[in-house]
Chains A and B, each alone.
Chain A
């Protein structure tokens, strides 16, 4: 079983739709969580960190449930420019650094 699991999609949604991605993690040592966005043939870029209290950044809302080891990302009013692969990431302390474990990604296509 992979340490971070995501539904690979693809999710094809119309512009303006609300879409939700889910992710589960199996390593209880994971302490911090993130969503990264990766455009086709580009590098991953941090979208947002995920906190237990839930956090929102504009149209994006992330939620963490430590008891269920579950992470979610909600995108409201989706735009064409939101089309990308969304990577769920768990981070754990490894020595003095933070080691990131990535899910395989969920592919989103927003259609006009």
Chain B
């Protein structure tokens, strides 16, 4: 499967714990996006990377959230001191600058904070 992959697919954690999610984009895609989706809502943009550079962050990305893409390939999203309000689906998408620049989404990581 050469699509976007995310790991883990599900994560249950206790409030106050730290969690880290991984995204592997489509191999030739240099652009990577993180979104958050809560029940009954569409995905909301969190942050964007072009290669290894983090070029934009949403105001939704509080200081407890950090994202990296150290080698311009896979990316990690870490949430520190998780809160119940962080419970959501975290989606990763990738795209390439060529053509219509369609964003292809991974299956998501579903986070539940107890």
Determine how close the nearest CB of chain A comes to the CB of B104; give it in whole angstroms: 8
In the bound complex, how far is the Cα of B100 from the Cα of A20, in angstroms?
25
Determine how close the nearest CB of chain A comes to the CB of B11; give it in whole angstroms: 15
* Chain B stretch 23-56: residues in CB contact (< 8 A) with chain A: 31, 33, 40-45, 48, 50, 55-56
In the bound complex, how far is the Cα of B48 from the Cα of A18, in angstroms?
38
Whether the pair B44, A43 counts as a contact (CB closer than 8 A) is no
A98-B95, A98-B101, A99-B48 known; A43-B56 Cβ under 8 A: no
Residue of B with least CB distance to A102: B42
A43-B107, A44-B105 known; A97-B48 Cβ under 8 A: yes
Whether the pair A104, B40 counts as a contact (CB closer than 8 A) is yes
Whether the pair A43, B42 counts as a contact (CB closer than 8 A) is no
Whether the pair A43, B105 counts as a contact (CB closer than 8 A) is yes
Whether the pair A42, B42 counts as a contact (CB closer than 8 A) is no
Determine how close the nearest CB of chain B comes to the CB of A92; give it in whole angstroms: 11
Contacts of A44 in B (CB 8 A): 43, 91, 105
Residue of A with least CB distance to B44: A102
* Chain A stretch 50-103: residues in CB contact (< 8 A) with chain B: 87, 89, 94-103
A42-B107, A45-B105, A46-B102 known; A95-B55 Cβ under 8 A: yes
In the bound complex, how far is the Cα of B106 from the Cα of A5, in angstroms?
24
Determine how close the nearest CB of chain A comes to the CB of B52; give it in whole angstroms: 14
Whether the pair B43, A96 counts as a contact (CB closer than 8 A) is no
Q: Which of A42, A44, A49, A102 has the most CB of B within 10 A?
A: A44
In the bound complex, how far is the Cα of B100 from the Cα of A94, in angstroms?
15
* Chain A stretch 1-44: residues in CB contact (< 8 A) with chain B: 4, 8, 42-44
Determine how close the nearest CB of chain A comes to the CB of B16; give it in whole angstroms: 27
In the bound complex, how far is the Cα of B76 from the Cα of A46, in angstroms?
24
Q: Which of A49, A94, A96 has the most CB of B within 10 A?
A: A96
* A residues in contact (CB < 8 Å) with B: 4, 8, 42-46, 49, 87, 89, 94-105
* B residues in contact (CB < 8 Å) with A: 31, 33, 40-45, 48, 50, 55-56, 91, 95, 97, 100-108
The list of the 4 closest CB pairs from A to B, nearest first, reads A102-B42, A43-B105, A102-B43, A87-B42
